């Protein structure tokens, strides 16, 4: 009897800068996995989203009108390219609104865990000398709805808790409010421990380990984060509870990255250290991410719109391609669908195969291939993989 694949709806959002180059490659790989794994995917869009759309549209809005609240709740998953055009820096209000697009979407859908793997892949050189694939393989779990980014929602408009304050008619000081709740801390820390249980431990000693990093003792919210960590850690005796102040972590991540398995941290620190881990794994162009909640998820690369290379067809699409693989795996888990899980895994394997062969690679990792050539090579590898 013919296999009737369940239909999944996936919404695509384009974004700015290199988004216009890397999003089509991510769609190409998604379509290849649909074909290879017999999936039934309805890809909606990808629709314009971000600063460029705001500038181009007569509506002066940053979302395409077809991206409605009903739609983002209805789809099985979302992927988006990076947003932001630094040329808009002069327009503070617009910049603020566009900067908060991903943040607003994360809050709207309550995507409390930002999952950001840092893995040295075959054929890729880390700036850390003598590191080989296998030496670096950790995942940062960035809390994604609180800290100093707690106040933004998109559909409700941006609700500020802090603000700019004037004296004598001039902006004289600005305040940002840093919020941490017990619920917000505990659920993301639990996510980190559950993830560690599904992994095979840190590269140096194969111990399952979750590292809590922030600035407890100095900041109250961070002290609450650490206390929540201790409470959750007590429920996971099989996973080592590890601690590092955030400044110390930045040091140790360079000196002994192989010690780390899963690292959990409040929002703003997670944002910063994921760019550090982008460098450690060889390029921001390899830095994938998934924003995950209990009911919804969206895939986006860790990096921004890379205006310095936009329009040159040299951006590395692997970051977004890997993010799409993470999204397929996430949907596969939620809907208990082995084909989707396998398709997601195959994207990860296809990327390693292309990087390992070393024939097709973009300039950020020492090659001269175009964005399109990299997308094509990964899509071809996905097609040539087979179900067990």
319 in contact with ligand NAD (CB under 6 A): yes
Phi, psi of 101 (to 5 degrees): -60, -55
- Please identify, using beta-carbon distances, which residue of 190 and 291 lies nearer to ligand NAD: 291
How far apart (Å, rounded) are the C-alpha atoms in residues 186 and 179? 14
86 in contact with ligand NAD (CB under 6 A): yes
- In this structure, are residues 231 and 186 in contact, taking their beta carbons and an 8 Å threshold? yes
- Sheet with 7-13: list strands edge to edge: 40-47, 7-13, 77-80, 297-299, 290-292, 113-119, 137-143, 262-265, 209-214, 240-245
Q: What's the closest the beta carbon of residue 41 comes to ligand NAD, in angstroms?
A: 23
306 in contact with ligand NAD (CB under 6 A): yes
Q: Which stretch binds ligand NAD (CB under 6 A): 126-134, 185-193, 251-259, 302-310?
A: 302-310
Q: Tell me the two tokens of residue 175.
A: 């305040």
Query: Judged by CB under 6 A, which of 284, 324, 331, 342 binds ligand NAD?
Result: 284
Q: What's the closest the beta carbon of residue 266 comes to ligand NAD, in angstroms?
A: 17
Q: What's the closest the beta carbon of residue 198 comes to ligand NAD, in angstroms?
A: 26
Q: Which stretch binds ligand NAD (CB under 6 A): 83-91, 138-146, 171-179, 217-225?
A: 83-91
Q: What's the closest the beta carbon of residue 51 comes to ligand NAD, in angstroms?
A: 8
Q: Which residue has the tokens 């800068």?
A: 17
Q: Which stretch binds ligand NAD (CB under 6 A): 229-237, 259-267, 296-304, 324-332?
A: 296-304
46 in contact with ligand NAD (CB under 6 A): no
Q: Which stretch binds ligand NAD (CB under 6 A): 66-74, 182-190, 236-244, 315-323?
A: 315-323
Q: What's the closest the beta carbon of residue 197 comes to ligand NAD, in angstroms?
A: 28
How far apart (Å, rounded) are the C-alpha atoms in residues 124 and 177? 40
307 in contact with ligand NAD (CB under 6 A): yes
The pattern of x and - marking residues 98 through 127 that bind ligand NAD according to CB under 6 A reads -x--x-------------------------
By 3-state DSSP, what share of the chain in percent is helix, strand and coil, each rounded to 5? Answer: 45, 20, 40
24 in contact with ligand NAD (CB under 6 A): no
- Please identify, using beta-carbon distances, which residue of 100 and 193 lies nearer to ligand NAD: 100
Q: 318-334 and 19-37 helices cross at what angle (nearest 10)?
A: 40
Q: What's the closest the beta carbon of residue 307 comes to ligand NAD, in angstroms?
A: 6
Q: Tell me the two tokens of residue 233.
A: 């850690």
What is the Cα 67 distance to its own chain's centre? 21
Convert 139-187 into a string of H (helix), E (strand) and C (coil).
EEEEECCCECCCCECCCCCECCCCEEEEECCEEEEEECCCECCHHHHHH
- Please identify, using beta-carbon distances, which residue of 302 and 385 lies nearer to ligand NAD: 302
Burial label for 158, CB within 10 Å (0-12, 13-18, 19+), is middle
- Please identify, using beta-carbon distances, which residue of 18 and 347 lies nearer to ligand NAD: 18
Binding site for ligand NAD (CB under 6 A): 18, 22, 82-84, 86, 99, 102, 284-285, 300, 303-309, 315-316, 319, 364
């Amino acid at each position: 009897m013919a296999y009737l694949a369940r239909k999944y709806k996936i919404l695509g959002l384009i974004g700015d800068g290199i988004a216009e180059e890397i999003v089509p490659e991510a769609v190409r790989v998604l379509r290849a996995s649909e074909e290879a794994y017999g999936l039934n995917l309805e890809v909606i869009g990808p629709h314009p989203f971000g600063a460029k759309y705001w500038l181009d549209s007569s509506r002066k809005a940053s979302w395409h009108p077809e991206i409605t609240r009903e739609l983002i709740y209805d789809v099985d998953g979302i992927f988006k390219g990076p947003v932001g055009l630094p040329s808009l820096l002069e327009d503070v209000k617009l910049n603020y609104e566009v900067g908060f697009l991903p943040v607003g979407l994360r809050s709207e859908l309550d995507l409390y865990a930002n999952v950001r793997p840092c893995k040295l892949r075959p054929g890729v050189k880390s700036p850390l000398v003598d590191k080989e694939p296998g030496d670096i393989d950790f995942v940062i779990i960035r809390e994604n709805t609180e800290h100093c980014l707690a106040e933004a929602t998109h559909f409700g408009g941006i609700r500020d808790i802090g603000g700019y304050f004037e004296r004598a008619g001039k902006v004289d000081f600005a305040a940002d409010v840093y919020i941490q709740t017990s619920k917000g801390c505990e659920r993301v820390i639990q996510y980190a421990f559950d993830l560690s249980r599904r992994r095979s431990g840190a590269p140096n000693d194969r111990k399952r380990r979750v590292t809590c990093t922030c600035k407890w003792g100095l900041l109250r919210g961070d002290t609450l984060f650490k206390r929540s960590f201790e409470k959750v850690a007590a429920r996971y005796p099989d996973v080592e509870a590890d601690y590092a102040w955030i400044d110390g972590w930045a040091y140790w991540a360079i000196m002994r990255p192989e010690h780390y398995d899963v690292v959990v941290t409040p929002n703003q620190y997670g944002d910063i250290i994921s760019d550090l881990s982008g460098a450690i794994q060889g390029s921001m162009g390899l830095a994938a991410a998934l924003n995950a909640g209990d009911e919804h998820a969206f895939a986006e690369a860790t990096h921004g719109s890379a205006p310095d290379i936009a329009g040159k067809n040299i951006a590395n699409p692997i970051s977004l391609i890997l993010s799409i693989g993470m999204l397929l795996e996430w949907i596969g888990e939620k809907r208990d669908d082995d084909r989707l899980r396998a398709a997601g895994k195959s994207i990860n394997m296809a990327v390693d195969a292309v990087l390992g062969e070393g024939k097709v690679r973009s300039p950020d990792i020492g090659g001269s291939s175009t964005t399109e050539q990299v997308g094509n090579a990964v899509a071809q590898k996905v097609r040539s993989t087979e179900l067990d």
